[in-house]
Structure 1
Amino acid sequence: MTHTALAAPEVGYGHVEPITVYFDDLDPMGIVHNARYAVLLERAVTPYWTVRGHYFDHNGPSTPDLFHAVREFSITYHRPIRGGGEVLVHFWLDRLGETSARYGFRFLSRDGRTCFAEGRRVIVRLDQATLRPAPWSESAREVARSLLKPEEVS
């Protein structure tokens, strides 16, 4: 069996990352379990940051910006993802604050025509010693700016 990669749909902002849904992501009905969407989002976001110098390896985090916590995760499910295989995750930043960032995301079919789910995730950068909010580094801000969704013009 050959696998032909489809081109990701064009988006005007953010990034589209293909991810693989595995058998253990599925519930007994053969659809992606609702609790797995947060993990699938991580599978999409992590490579984006990794190739831009923000990663974990055997030495720990490459930058202190990787020490952050999810403050909020909300999702609306539109259609179930059935079975394993590839789906697309379109993600972007709606807001980049001094110590936090608000992601928007959508889970899409490979052709980009079907939106399975959409939502938002807010993260807060933490100081490792105090566990209090800490400012993002300039390096992280530079990467984050590449994900910012343009402001809507009224």
Structure 2
Amino acid sequence: MTADLAGRLVGNGHRLDVRVYFEDTDFSGVVYHARYLHFLERGRSDMLRLKGIGHRELMSGEFGAPMAFAVRRMELDFLRPARIDEILTVTTGIGRLGGARILLDQKIWRGEDLLIEANVTVAVISPEGKLLRMPPRVLEVLAPATTPEAPAR
């Protein structure tokens, strides 16, 4: 059951289905723009969790020194609105791995309709906020870098 809650890994990335609830919308039933950030965060976190790189494991030092991933930069294109009760699919793929950063390609779909495109740069940091190099085990788990396709039609 937990795997279902965390979405699913696909050969080229991760997919997570989310339902739009009342709390995600404004008075008109349209998703409030900041709520898309929550959906994208869940997609990133669940992809890492399913790959065995959970936030707890990172902070415990399981991959070397205690560390965390922090969003450094985010570029969003809002293409179409989502509405209350709709089921959306968040896709996450790794665009590029660097020494201390990961570039992620994320999209939010409603069926075949692309609603949101996001390019996200995530940095590896210490608990004190200092930039760290990516541990070799993390690089190994995240490679090869690919981007997921649109949801199956």
**TM above 0.5:** yes
Q: Is the 8 A contact 1:76 1:119 kept in 2?
A: yes
The aligned counterpart of 2:131 is: 133
SS in 2 for 1:121: strand
**Deviation of 1:81 (Å):** 0.4
**Deviation of 1:20 (Å):** 2.7
| Residue 68 to residue 147, structure 1, CA distance change in 2 (3 Å) | same
Runs (4 or more) in structure 1 with deviation over 6 Å come to none
Q: CA RMSD in A?
A: 3.0
Q: Is the 8 A contact 1:68 1:123 kept in 2?
A: yes
The aligned counterpart of 1:19 is: 18
| Residue 46 to residue 68, structure 1, CA distance change in 2 (3 Å) | closer
**Percent identity of the aligned residues?**
24
TM-score between the two structures when normalised by the length of structure 2: 0.76
The amino acid that maps onto 1:140 is V
Give distance in 2, aligned partners of 1:149 and 1:39. Answer: 20
Q: Which structure is larger by alpha-carbon Rg, 1 or 2?
A: 1
**Deviation of 1:133 (Å):** 1.4
| Residue 54 to residue 13, structure 1, CA distance change in 2 (3 Å) | closer
Q: Is the 8 A contact 1:68 1:124 kept in 2?
A: yes
Q: Is the 8 A contact 2:96 2:145 kept in 1?
A: no
**Deviation of 1:85 (Å):** 3.7
The aligned counterpart of 1:91 is: 92
Deviations 1:97-123, CA, capped at 9 Å, x for gaps: 0001111111011x3x10011121111
The aligned counterpart of 2:37 is: 38
The amino acid that maps onto 1:138 is P
1:5-154, aligned counterparts within 5 Å? 13-57=12-56, 61=60, 63=63, 67-109=68-110, 111=111, 113-129=112-128, 131-149=129-147
SS in 1 for 2:115: strand
Q: Is the 8 A contact 1:17 1:44 kept in 2?
A: yes
Q: Structure 1: any 5+ residue segments left out of the alignment?
A: 1-7
| Residue 25 to residue 143, structure 1, CA distance change in 2 (3 Å) | farther
TM-score between the two structures when normalised by the length of structure 1: 0.75
**Deviation of 1:12 (Å):** 7.5
Q: Is the 8 A contact 1:19 1:43 kept in 2?
A: no
> After the TM superposition, which of the residue ranges 16-25 and 113-122 deviates more from structure 2?
16-25
Count how many residue pairs are aligned between Structure 1 and Structure 2.
139
**Deviation of 1:51 (Å):** 2.3
Q: Structure 2: any 5+ residue segments left out of the alignment?
A: 1-6, 149-153
